Amino acid sequence: MPTKKPRERPSRHLTNQVRIIAGEWRGRKLTFPDISGLRPTGDRMRETLFNWLAPHVHQSRVLDLFAGSGALGMEALSRGANNCIFVESNQNATKTLAENLSALRCKNAQVVHQNAFDAINTLLPQSIDILFIDPPFDSHLHNSILDKICNSQILALSALVYVEAPVNETIEVPSNWPLLNKKISGQVSFFLYMAKNEGSS
């Protein structure tokens, strides 16, 4: 009798990959470590998000808070952002982020191994054009980090702020921040706001 070929086990390593969708690094696949709560924004939603951001990405200054895999910031860099700061508190994630950026030969990015709340204190005033906020799912950090940002001066005039949160989470932003786009996919809500300084119209 012929020997039955054993079923191949799917590689867990291969499931921990994120693909850059467009731009200079289009199609490049990057790995990320197994970390509780690390859940990169999927391809379909990233494509939708960057369709929203298309007129604004080129030459922008980007901050990827709770960076995790770095999928959002790297997509922005691939599409022509001037620079990106990746803030991540997990040491394994920051190490992998640095390795991936090195593999891409990216010289206009900075990886900061720090708590997101503390990192905001060290950022230059009014320097960020696009801000990504995607904390670990069910961490309930969305409104506290938004409050911290609103009480800082890190955002440029009319900066764009992307927030990814569970659908049952109520997102609280200043009344003069217009909601530009919103989408719901499964148990996740996606928001894009324009941050207005106090007194701006």
Q: Provide the pLDDT for residue 58.
A: 96
> In angstroms, rounded to a whole number, what is the distance separating the alpha carbons of residues 89 and 67?
9
> In angstroms, rounded to a whole number, what is the distance separating the alpha carbons of residues 96 and 114?
15
Residue recorded with tokens 């696009």: 130
In the chain, what are the domain boundaries? 12-195
Nearest to 40 by CA among 71, 14, 81: 71
Instruction: Pull the structure tokens for residue 20.
Output: 């850059």
Q: Provide the pLDDT for residue 37.
A: 56
> In angstroms, rounded to a whole number, what is the distance separating the alpha carbons of residues 172 and 200?
19
Domain 12-195 sits in CATH at 3.40.50.150
Which pTM does this prediction carry?
A: 0.87
Write the DSSP string, 6-51: PPPPPPHHHHSEEE--SSTTTT-EEE----TT--PPPHHHHHHHHH
Q: Provide the pLDDT for residue 30.
A: 86
* pLDDT (tens place) for every residue of the chain, 201 residues total: 444 433 333 333 446 888 899 999 999 988 876 666 556 677 888 899 999 999 999 999 999 999 988 999 999 999 999 999 999 999 998 999 999 999 999 999 999 999 999 999 988 888 999 999 999 887 889 999 999 999 999 999 999 999 999 999 999 999 999 999 999 998 899 999 999 865 444
How far separated are the first and last CA of the chain, in Å rounded?
79
